[in-house]
Amino acid sequence: MTALLSVLLVWYLLGGLLPLCTTRPHLQNLFAHGCAAAAGVVGIVLGVAGLLSTAPLTLSLASNIPHLTFAIRLDPLAAFFVLTISLVGVAASIYASGYVEEFSGRVSVGLLGSLLNGFLLSMTLVVLADNGFFFLILWEVMSLLSYVLVVTEHEKPGVREAGLFYLIMTHVGTAFIILTLLIFSQETGSFSFEAFRHPDQQLPEGLRSIAFFTALIGFGAKAGIVPLHVWLPYAHPAAPSHISALMSGVMIKTAIYGLIRVYFDFMGGVFPWWWGFTLLVAGTVSALLGVMYALMEHDLKGLLAFHSVENIGIILLGIGAGMIFHTYGLHELAALGLLAGLYHTINHAAFKALLFLGAGALQFSTHTRHIEEYGGLLRRMPWTGAFFLIGAVSIAALPPTNGFVSEWLVFQSLFLSFQLPTLFLKLMLPIAAAMLALTGALALACFAKAFGMSFLAQPRSAHARHATEVPWSMRVGMGFLAGLCIVLGLAPMLVVPLLDRVTAPLTGAAISSQVLALDGWVVAPVTVEFSSISTPVLAMLLVGAGALGLLIARLCGKGLRARYYKTWGCGLNLTPRMEYTATGFAQPIKQVFETIYQPTVKLEQEFLEQSKYFIKHQRFESHIEPVFEKYLYWPVVTLLLATADRLRIIQAGSLHLYLTYIFVTLVLLLLWAG
Amino acid sequence: MQSIIHIVLVVVQLALLLTLSPFVVGLIRKVKARLQCRRGASLFQPYADLAKLFRKQPVISSTTSWIFTAAPYIVFASTVAAGLLMPVFVSHTPLNFAGNIIALVYLLALGTFFLILAGLDAGSAFGGMGSSREAIVATLAEPAMMLSILSIALTAGSTNLSTIVHQSALMEGVVVAPPAHLMALAALFIVTLAETGRVPVDNPATHLELTMIHEAMLLEYSGRYLALMEWAAGIKLLVFMTLIVNVFAPWGIATSLAPSAIAVGLLVYLGKVAALALVIGVIESMFAKLRLFRVPEMLGAAFILSLLALVFFYTLKG
């Protein structure tokens, strides 16, 4: 495995350096994306090998800086995330080799490709790092590289602001992560993760709770947990689409990795029930608000970004339920909850990356991201459409796709709450399940909107009318992920044993044999009596019933060929302007959930002078209130700016004054030291 | 031998779902007609309608994509597949292992998803309106459905439908927490009315553009495609009705594979479905269709009822 790891490093480094050594764009393209794809393939092998190996692989390289060692540890948890990152990395790299055409002449393809390799490498190493300092350096490299990639098209309006917002949010998060690691190092006297997880060096009670919150805020800012999610809908649409796919599909997952690492590994899985409950609440709120805001978003990539908030919420529901069960010693159920969360992690990586790549393909062909300007694209881009549909069905958790399997497992772990001892939790977990059901239904509505408005009916703009299918490399990238969605859905018997190797050491219960019954054909939450599903059988049933319908239609219809005629338009010729819009589609939902959206409507009408019943001109505007930005972020920003203004008094611009400051500081320091 | 019996059971269940569903639709129509002092069409009219539609040449809108022609098959397949997962007249259904109640709900959601897409595909404002309304109704029905199911599942200690029905059949309907079950029943009944497009949520008989939901999505369909969609809607109605009668009134269902038990189970099942169809017909005649933005209140009430069912289950059980 050491050899595999070295090969992986070499490929990424080559991919980072070679494109900068040549000026010919197609060579740069080949080097950058070829190396990244090759490294990704090695990463997939490494991840699977790491999951299957019995002992974790550890490597360490000392440095001259105190506390910093370049320590690497490939345990099952890290291996799972390496696998996830590499799977999406391969698809994104192949896709990018065609997609970067979009940027040719504007942005250096070589630099973009080189940064892509660096970004992938930093994410891979973040989950492998086994030293606090090393981890923070890599975390920072990952954040900065993703920032640079977000602002690739900095000449476009809004992109720099989005990048800056992301940069600030991610650093707020980093500050809290530093705080978490400092708490641990304060107690253990070391920055090595090995010392953190040592059972003899557990933190005292109060500090543990502080570390819980700092870790939640720190990683939550990266993951996009509500209310720290505000940067996602700005940064993800601004980035090039393969970068959005990586950021949304895998980068935010490194935060999930961090949370599991801290709570289950460093803290040894010892925590009070309200930790898990806090995650459960955060998960429910994120899932629900994420999908609700997604429904009102008509920038396709912004919509997908909000869905990342939703899916992070679903992952947290699984992990939170797992933590609650763990507190009460229900280790098998704890393993189930954690397994459900991790299953959803890899599933979300697959379908969200696929959808972002699909959105990129639409942008590539139509040069717009606005859903209202799409329409009729399925006939013009049949491959992209089919792949996007697979992604949409998966994210809406419809059987027999992968999203269904993991969401089903999350449901089961919430339903099994009747085994908990307190009535409060017995009631709260099913309510979370009901909210998850609402989330799932809203996600269905949202992707019916996204797919229906983009791909069906007539084109709503000239952009959409002249769209053509994207190059084959982009289709291969999307096809790979679409295939992955189907495999992850139909073959849980391949996935669950691997995930079990991650959760078993963390929760102390191996449940693979219980989750998989009947040679892996059936998935059950620990007990088959409670419930079970079998996606392969469901798929066969669907195909069989569909074939039956086809047969009946054939037998009765006597081979009558369909006639094609225009849609009924009440006697008028049907134009795209008569179609339902995405805004119109989501309008009832906006009205029903008014309290959450706080919509504002502005209507300006100008009437004819002769009569107020004839409108000469009118203008309609409708917005939804960005509640978190308005009530949470703006007050903080305003306060900061006001404080900074006040503090300008000490910055008077006089050299004598500054020398006095230095002198006073020096005296104070000497006094303190003495 | 065992597997042959299982295959036979699945085939019989499939045949029953396919053949009984138009009859139920016809029965509800008949009840409504009688209550309106009309003689009404024959009970078998829906069969004739389906046969006619299957034989007619379909007209497809020229602006549509393959989704439009594929959707009827997907909607049909998902509804039939959902129907095969639940016990109908034998409490132990062979395909029970393939999916529990959540899988059934999500299979129906798969159909809803493609129905919404089909409504959008023709590009007419009517289809879009129907799709948009279907989306909000389906969305709001989901949480109530999930919670009411859970409170039933808790009594049986399982979310597998066969186990739930089998357990409550063995207990001869003696439920652990009756108030909980009654509330869950009320919630699930409201959800049924909403999900299957009945009055007061939707009117299956209307073609007035301002009121229709399900019919609006099907407006551009004709011939065999319309037949499949109508048939699927009938099967969906039967699936929900079967769910209600078997979960809340499992008396008489065959708990073993003895021929006499199966015969009794079949007859009792037909009787129960007919009785429920009568109830639905009466309710449809008694109520006016609600304004669309009143529907959330009704479904919200269903959600509260199912939540109370859960609270009652835990508190009454001690």
- pLDDT at residue A17 tops 90: yes
pLDDT on residue B174? 53
Condensed to tens digits (0 to 9), the pLDDT of residues A543-593 reads 999 999 999 998 887 778 889 998 888 888 888 888 899 999 999 999 999
pLDDT on residue A670? 93
- pLDDT at residue A356 tops 80: yes
Rounded to 5°, the CA angle A668-A672-A673 comes to: 115
Contact call for B140 and A592, based on CB within 8 A: yes
For A563, the closest of B57, B72, B292 (CB atoms) is B57
Mean pLDDT of B170-193: 79
Condensed to tens digits (0 to 9), the pLDDT of residues A101-125 reads 888 888 889 999 999 999 999 999 9
What confidence category does residue A523 fall into, taking pLDDT thresholds of 50, 70 and 90? Answer: confident
What confidence category does residue A215 fall into, taking pLDDT thresholds of 50, 70 and 90? Answer: very high
Mean pLDDT of A44-54: 93
Mean pLDDT of A392-420: 93
Mean pLDDT of A609-637: 87
- pLDDT at residue B173 tops 60: no
Residues 564-623 of chain A with CB under 8 A from chain B are 564-569, 574, 576, 578-580, 584-589, 591-592
CA within 13 Å, CB half, A326? 32
Cβ contacts of A224 within 8 Å, gap of 6 or more: A231, A232, A252, A286, A308, A309, A312
- pLDDT at residue A391 tops 60: yes
Mean pLDDT of A434-447: 94
- Asked if B248 reaches chain A (Cβ–Cβ under 8 Å), the answer is no
Give dist(CA A547, CA A11) in Å, integer. 47
Contact call for B97 and A537, based on CB within 8 A: yes
Closest listed residue to residue A402, CA positions, set A411, A393, A414, A415: A393
pLDDT on residue A198? 81
pLDDT on residue A574? 86
* Tokens found for residue B246: 């078997």
Question: What secondary structure does DSSP assign to B140-178, as a single string?
Answer: HHHHHHHHHHHHHHHHHT---HHHHHHHHHHTTT--S-H
Q: Which residues of A touch B106 (CB under 8 A)?
A: 397-399, 404, 408, 440
Contact call for B139 and A589, based on CB within 8 A: yes
- pLDDT at residue A623 tops 90: no
Contact call for B138 and A423, based on CB within 8 A: no
Residues 120-159 of chain B with CB under 8 A from chain A are 120-125, 127-129, 131-133, 135-136, 138-147, 150, 153-154, 157-159
Contact call for A452 and B69, based on CB within 8 A: no
Q: In chain A, what percentage of residues exceed pLDDT 70?
A: 100
Convert A167-187 to b/e letters by CB count within 10 Å (16 or more is b): bebbeebbebbbbbbebbbeb
- pLDDT at residue B208 tops 90: no
Rounded to 5°, the CA angle A386-A389-A391 comes to: 115
Give dist(CA A45, CA A261) in Å, integer. 22
Model pTM? 0.95
* Best mutation target, B54, B95, B115, B136, to test chain A (most A CBs within 10 A): B136
- pLDDT at residue B176 tops 70: no
pLDDT on residue B211? 78
Contact call for A565 and B163, based on CB within 8 A: no
Q: Which residues of A touch B78 (CB under 8 A)?
A: 542, 545
Q: Which residues of A touch B73 (CB under 8 A)?
A: 546, 549-550
Condensed to tens digits (0 to 9), the pLDDT of residues B279-318 reads 999 999 999 888 888 999 999 999 999 999 888 888 876 4
Mean pLDDT of B86-95: 88
Residues 426-465 of chain A with CB under 8 A from chain B are 426-427, 430-431, 433-435, 437-438, 440-442, 444-445, 447-449, 451-453, 455-458
Q: B1 vs chain A: nearest CA distance in angstroms?
A: 19
* Average per-residue pLDDT for chain A: 92
- Asked if A551 reaches chain B (Cβ–Cβ under 8 Å), the answer is no
pLDDT on residue B175? 54
What confidence category does residue B235 fall into, taking pLDDT thresholds of 50, 70 and 90? Answer: very high
pLDDT on residue A643? 94
Convert A304-343 to b/e letters by CB count within 10 Å (16 or more is b): bbbbbbbbbbbbbbbbbbbbbbbbbebbbbbbbbbbbbbb
Domain boundaries of chain B, sorted by first residue: 2-317
Closest listed residue to residue B243, CA positions, set B165, B180, B144: B165
* Average per-residue pLDDT for chain B: 90
| Cis-peptide into A421, omega within 30 deg | no
What confidence category does residue A231 fall into, taking pLDDT thresholds of 50, 70 and 90? Answer: very high
Mean pLDDT of B136-140: 92
What confidence category does residue A464 fall into, taking pLDDT thresholds of 50, 70 and 90? Answer: very high
Condensed to tens digits (0 to 9), the pLDDT of residues A478-519 reads 999 999 999 999 999 999 999 999 999 999 888 888 888 777
Domain boundaries of chain A, sorted by first residue: 293-532, 576-627, 628-673
DSSP state of A251: I
- H-assigned helices in chain B: 2-35, 45-55, 66-84, 101-121, 125-156, 161-170, 178-195, 214-217, 223-248, 259-286, 295-317
pLDDT on residue B166? 84
- Region of poorest pLDDT, from A140-149, A346-355, B192-201: B192-201
pLDDT on residue A10? 95
- What ipTM describes this predicted complex? 0.95
Q: Which residues of B touch A404 (CB under 8 A)?
A: 103, 106
- pLDDT at residue B68 tops 90: yes
